[in-house]
Amino acid sequence: MEKMSRVTTAHSSSAISGRTMFCHLDAPANAISVCRDATQVVVAGRNIFKIYALEEEQFVEKLNLRVGRKPSLNFSCADVMWHQMEENLLATAATNGAVVTWNLGKPSRNKQDQLFTEHKRTVNKVCFHPTDVYMLLSGSQDGFMKCFDLRKKESVSTFSGQSESVRDVQFSIKDYFTFAATFENGNVQVWDIRRPDRYERMFTAHTGPVFCCDWHPDDRGWLATGGRDKMVKVWDMTTNRAKEIYCVQTIASVARVKWRPEKKFHLATCSMMVDHNIYVWDVRRPFIPFATFEEHKDVTTGIVWRHQHDPHFLLSGSKDSTLYQHMFKDATRPVDKANPEGLCFGLFGDLAFAAKESLISSDANRKPYPGGDRRYPIFFFKKPDPTEQFAHVSSALSVFETDLDSNRMDWFVKTAQLYLLCGKPFAELCDHNAKVARELKRPQVSTTWTMLRIMFSDPANPTTPGLNHSLSNKLGTLPLMNSFSMKEMGPGMGTESRLERSKGESRQDNAHLEPGILHISNNNEENEETEGSEGQAEYMFGDAELDDDDLYSMEHENQTEEQECTLPQEAFQLRHEIMDNPSAPEHLQQDKADSPHVSGNEAEVTCLTPIESFSLISISQPLFSPHLPASFFCPIVREMLSYYAEQGDVQMAVSVLIVLGDRIRKEIDDLTQEHWYMSYIDLLQRFELWNVSNEVIKLSTCSAITCLNQASTTLHINCSNCKRPMSNKGWICDRCHQCASVCAVCHHVVKGLFVWCQGCSHGGHLEHIMNWLKSSAHCPAGCGHLCEYT
């Protein structure tokens, strides 16, 4: 409050103090203005023109300037301004085009002093010169600005904007002769008061009307403008071309903008439509208001800082017929309610996660930042007031790259190419496909294939060894996958690479990062080490590769994780002996989630694995008793297929569907099948796997799919002579009666199969060309092209 005491002594009046308060007006306000010593405020509107005294606890009505039985339209004010040099002098802009000055020192009831009726249309704005007592400027809807000398009866100069309506005029606070005007067409003009013939400079600031502007009280070159396009822009006018240095995007058209006194980067705005709040922005932080005043029930029409050197009091008038004094300390701070975390997937499966630094790695060594960013000169450096700063929000951004191999869809392409769907006995197909999956490090899929073979194969076939192998394989990996998913929930965030950021600037130079935190590894299969919030817990990535299912699990840990571990065991659930098996991994999760010391993780996993696989293997033998018919498994397989399809692995669903063929087809309704086929074919075609796609179409049993290859088999040809489409016969043109296709070898008309070179477009009978090219490399037509027959 040091500042304030200085202020009060300087102006020798009672100290500015007060609280958030309001009073009801009789009518909506259009504009307000304060007198220089900040003790009185004038409110003007269509049906109101009053002066209120600002007292400690309340507003007190001092004077009603609206006198007369039937007040004229000259009282209908669009704008009002209190002179900052002469405390008895007011000016209003009337909606009927009049500019009126008022002298409070007049003894009569009617304080009207001068009346200028030079404007043809509504006057939108009046502005006194900040230092010259007699100079008044007005801007009107008729496109003119006029400068009045109050000692004379009429304007001394007229400025023509040569464009549409003037919305705002403002004298520069520092340059005696300069003023800015904003226009309905989006332009801003800067004028020299001595040169009414032509503006000094003009630039387009907004799309649509520029409703307001305000010169920075301290920095001579800065001009803030607000427009219907919902933007507030700050312009640096010192350069040759006005340069936009800051831009704030608000949520509604900006009706007024006012720099906050003594705060270089703060400005207050209010809107003309829909949004009733007053915002105070820090122009360097354009995405969230620094403070908000939410008291008004209808649009705010006038805002003014109570004293030109005091940033703590804001006055506002509104269409809801109230006049408010807002204390800055009572403002809401939207930043407190903002969600500090953000999460997003990248195009190639990368995951970015931003959160408060403290959340990600609040180790004891890191100290919170005092005050704002040091790189900016802070205006009152001596006493950093925490409430005057944006809450310290430095976030850490972590980017989780996926394994180069797995983030691509390579596995999909390879699988599609390598899978065998027909042509071999069922068991061999399954084995082959299981092997393919295993080699691509997709053990779950691989196991599924193996299980399918077991379920549907002729039980007489001795297949046990293979099974044993695959089972243990699967069980070896499964719990590890769990532990991987779990780790993503941990406070430490398994990171592969981590970028630290604060306020959008790189802070690499700040050596507060411990080497241990910044642990960059591109290889997912290595174990990761990260810092936890309390203990120095160690985490480990499982050996399971990060295929895209796993990647998903970062987002929906709980849900997918559960499926992840329970689904493969669904197949076993029927076997009562191991009914309790699924609970084991769940228990494991529970453990991990509860325990802060997750370092025991690895040990648990390793000790669990043998038990599990033991129990399975030990009971695996009796399973193959030939009592169970293949159809017994059908419901399970159906569920499994649906599961895969839901997971997005429609490839698996379709492949199994084809391989199993009649064994499963009847279990699944045609529409679903067709849907799967269509999705898979669509995917294949996107990867340009035309052959596989055709094979799938051919092998499918859905009528809707097989007919895909029968569609559009017509080939339209044009006559080579007259370029008209040939409708009747393929070999003679109706129009020019020429034979279109002549064999280049025998010079007869080709009526059957016609083959032609895509290079030189010569061709002929299939056999003729075939024979010709056996003996010669050149085109039979003699064009010299080296044709090829493949």
> Which residues are near another protein by CB under 8 A?
46, 70, 72-74, 76, 78, 94-97, 117, 119-122, 141, 184, 208-209, 211, 228, 252-253, 272-274, 276, 297-298
For residues 270 and 471, which CB has a smaller minimum distance to another protein in the complex?
Answer: 270
SS3 state of residue 292: strand
- Among 466, 496, 493, 483, smallest CA distance to 587 is for 483
Q: For residue 419, what is the DSSP state? A: -
Question: How many contiguous H segments (helices) and E segments (strands) does the chain have?
Answer: 19, 35
Query: Nearest 10 degrees: CA dihedral of 435, 438, 443, 444?
Result: -40
Exposed e or buried b for every residue in 114-129, given b needs 16+ CB within 10 A? bebebbeebbbbbbbb
Query: In whole angstroms, how close is the CB of 97 to another protein at the nearest point?
Result: 4
Task: For the CB of residue 209, give the shortest distance to another protein in the complex, in Å.
Answer: 6
Q: 10 Å Cβ neighbour count for 467?
A: 19
For residues 748, 751, 753 and 754, what is the CA-based torsion angle, rounded to 10 degrees? 50
Nearer to another protein, 273 or 391 (CB): 273
Contact 693, 681 (CB under 8 A): yes
Minimum CB distance to another protein, residue 48 (Å): 13
CB of 122 to another protein, least distance (A): 5
Torsion of the alpha carbons at 435, 437, 440 and 442, rounded to the nearest 10: -130
Starting at the edge strand found earlier in the chain, the sheet holding 505-506 runs 342-345, 351-356, 395-400, 497-502, 505-506
Distance in angstroms (rounded) separating the CA atoms of residues 731 and 744 = 14
Picking from 740, 741, 786, the residue whose alpha carbon sits closest to that of residue 760 is 786
Residue with smaller CB distance to another protein, 119 or 442:
119
Least distance in Å: CB of 436 to another protein? Answer: 46
**What single letter denotes the amino acid at residue 378?**
I
CB of 230 to another protein, least distance (A): 8
How far is it, in rounded angstroms, from Cα 125 to Cα 18? 30
CB of 457 to another protein, least distance (A): 54
Tokens read off for 200? 């000094």
Pairing of strands 31-34, 155-160: unpaired
Token pair belonging to 682: 């669509």
Closer Cβ to another protein, 72 or 738, answer by number: 72
Minimum distance from CB of 716 to another protein (Å)?
Answer: 15
Whose Cβ is closer to another protein: residue 653's or residue 733's?
Answer: 733
84, two tokens: 């900052």
The least CB distance from residue 66 to another protein, in Å, is: 13
Count other C-beta atoms under 10 Å from residue 239's C-beta: 10
Query: Residues 126, 170: contact at Cβ < 8 Å?
Result: no
Closer to another protein by CB, 294 or 669: give it. 294
Least distance between another protein and beta carbon 272 (Å): 6
What is the distance, to the nearest Å, from the Cα of residue 491 to the centroid of all Cα atoms in its chain? 25
Amino acid letter, residue 482: N
Q: Cβ closer to another protein: 111 or 276?
A: 276
User: Cβ 784 to another protein, closest distance in Å?
Assistant: 34
Residue 131 C-beta: closest distance to another protein, Å: 31
Looking at beta carbons only, is 123 or 657 nearer to another protein?
A: 123
CB closer to another protein out of 619 and 722: 722
Output 142 or 612, the one with its CB closest to another protein.
142
- CB closer to another protein out of 233 and 765: 233
Nearer to another protein, 320 or 500 (CB): 320
Sheet holding 112-116, edge to edge: 77-82, 89-94, 99-103, 112-116
Contact by Cβ (8 Å): 142, 134: no
